[in-house]
Amino acid sequence: MSKVSKLADTLIPSEIIKLGNEISDRIKQGNKIYNFTIGDFDPAIFPIPALLEHEIIEAYRQKKTNYPPANGIASLRTAVSQFICRKLHLNYDAGSILISGGGRPLIYAAYRTICDAGEKVIYPVPSWNNNHYTHFVGGEHICIETSVENNFLPAAEELIPHFKEATLLALCSPLNPTGTVFSKEQLSKICQAVIDENKSRSATQKPLYILYDQIYSTLTYGDAVHYDPVSLFPELSEYTIYIDGISKAFCATGVRVGWAFGPAVVIDKMKGILSHIGAWSPMAEQVATAQFLQNEDAVDDYLETTKNKIEQRLRLIYEGIQNLQSAGYPVEAISPTAAMYLTIRFSFKNNKDPDGNLIQDTAAMTAFLLEYASLALVPFSAFGAHKESEWYRLSVGTCALDEIPVMLSKLKSALDRLVS
């Protein structure tokens, strides 16, 4: 008999963190690794905004170190309300906004608020952590495996058959891990079906809610446009909970300021759950973020500069992969449209490595890339996709520009050593 809870005994640890730890061990041993695994930023390459840094230091000097209110300080909630109105054209007052220590506690609280054990939770894969959060609440996993033909985003016809009796539809755009976005047509069909489903339910039934993670919404490139449910269908404001924050837009993953907004009945209950957990964003960081978000010029300048730096890296690597594919190498990639991720496919299973070992599965392919190309990527299987998927996430947040040509050359050399 297990000596811990069934939940703890059956919870799968983060596959990404596990892979990251293995890579860190190699680096500590003196190995040069081109580490594109973690969805984080190297502060030496992508520092947080100078004004935000100044305001954080000043807030600590002003002794802003006490407990914040459970839903976040009023000035920050007001600043977030103004920010999302200006940037996303979403109108939510400060009372509809909940502040927390990053997006993760907010996602957890949303799942806990909405879902009871045994209820259906619909989510696409690959996607970040929805399988684990569904496990946390004892939900029934309705897992939709997506395809490259749809840029790994779920199609309405794949989702709608599962809407009956479902409680939560978890969506993310721009999508982690793929860096792809919903088209207006795609998302509109899904949203209209949610509206139709909720109209069919009685007043005593729980509605079908949408959890919409848009933490990467400010990071879109070229002609890509970020769409969201309530902007398309205002009546969905009653059923949509948004997850957002400063971690990706402002390269502030360690500053821990996230926010959720949505229907008051849900946001208020989420606040109650987080008040027991104590997953608050620190007072000083809240004060600083409120000050920073009100400086529109500083915000806009930083966003533009950061977008350009991220897109430059994504484009360079994408072009390098395209060149390899054109030369006949077993690789391909999806043109980058958003976030900090590039989606790459490696198709050399059933080849042999230089030592004569047959590469039979994704794990062996990942190991080959690490051993012979010094290249560390995260397979889509770590995001809930089929364990033998040949697709990978490459994250550029810790990528130095001058290392990209060297990395691509080393990858080419490694692929040259495959034995068919």
Chain segment 372-417, per-residue pLDDT in tens:
999 999 999 999 999 999 999 999 999 999 999 999 999 999 999 9
pLDDT of amino acid 17: 77
CA pair distance 395, 365, nearest whole angstrom: 18
Q: Where in the chain is the domain with CATH 3.40.640.10?
A: 50-295
As separate numbers, helices (DSSP H) first and strands (DSSP E) second, the chain gives 14, 13
Residues in the chain with pLDDT values less than 70? none
Q: Where in the chain is the domain with CATH 3.90.1150.10?
A: 6-46+301-416
Q: Are 270 and 260 in contact (CB under 8 A)?
A: yes
Q: Against a cut of 0.85, is the pTM above it?
A: yes
CA pair distance 193, 287, nearest whole angstrom: 40
Closest CA to 392 of 380, 400, 403: 380
pLDDT of amino acid 12: 82
CA pair distance 145, 167, nearest whole angstrom: 19
Place of tokens 């190297």: 42
CATH class of 50-295: alpha beta
Q: 6-46+301-416: which CATH topology?
A: Aspartate Aminotransferase, domain 1 (3.90.1150)
Bridge partners, 209 (sequence order): 168
pLDDT of amino acid 338: 98
